[in-house]
Amino acid sequence: MTRFQNNRHFLPARFYFRYHALVLAIVVCLLLIIEWALGTRWSLFWPFIIWGLMVSIHYFFSAAFDINEVWADDRVLDVKTRSYDLGHIMNIEDRIDHTHDSITPHTERE
């Protein structure tokens, strides 16, 4: 399964990120319910901020390592189909296929 399957963005699967995010959501809900039920005013702001920051860092690392060839192909297709300038992209692909001078560095041109 890729993250761009059926034009849906999935959470990265590496390094147990989904479980980390799920545990965060459950703990936040439980702590808020307990705080509400007991009528107390605990200072939950800093634990939520710190844990949320750790989850976001975890997301960036797991998303970076979740990239593979299938993901790249899906992402290219996604960008192409959402592009407002599809003609320009097709022009570049055509120049690459025909090895046009405009795609080679000036130092390698004859």
% pLDDT > 70, the chain: 87
Q: Of 60-64, 99-103, 106-110, which range is least confident?
A: 106-110
Same-domain status, 57 and 78: no
pLDDT of residue 91 exceeding 70, the answer is: yes
Write down the pLDDT at residue 52: 93
Q: Residue 29 to residues 9, 34, 42, 56, 86: CA-CA distances in angstroms? A: 24, 9, 14, 18, 45
Whole-number Å distance between alpha carbons of 34 and 88? 57
Same-domain status, 43 and 78: no
* Average pLDDT of the chain to the nearest whole number: 81
Same-domain status, 32 and 61: yes
pLDDT tens per residue, range 11-59: 776 788 888 899 999 999 999 998 888 888 878 888 999 999 999 999 8
Same-domain status, 91 and 62: no
Write down the pLDDT at residue 65: 83
Whole-number Å distance between alpha carbons of 60 and 44? 24
- Please tell me the pTM assigned to this model: 0.55
Same-domain status, 57 and 76: no
Same-domain status, 52 and 74: no
Q: List % helix, strand, coil for the chain (3-state, nearest 5).
A: 75, 0, 25
Query: What b/e readout covers 64-101, taking b as 16+ CB neighbours within 10 angstroms?
Result: eebeeeeeeebeeeeeeeeeeeeeeeeeeeeeeeeeee
Domain containing residue 87? 69-110
| The total number of structural domains that make up the chain | 2
Write down the pLDDT at residue 82: 74
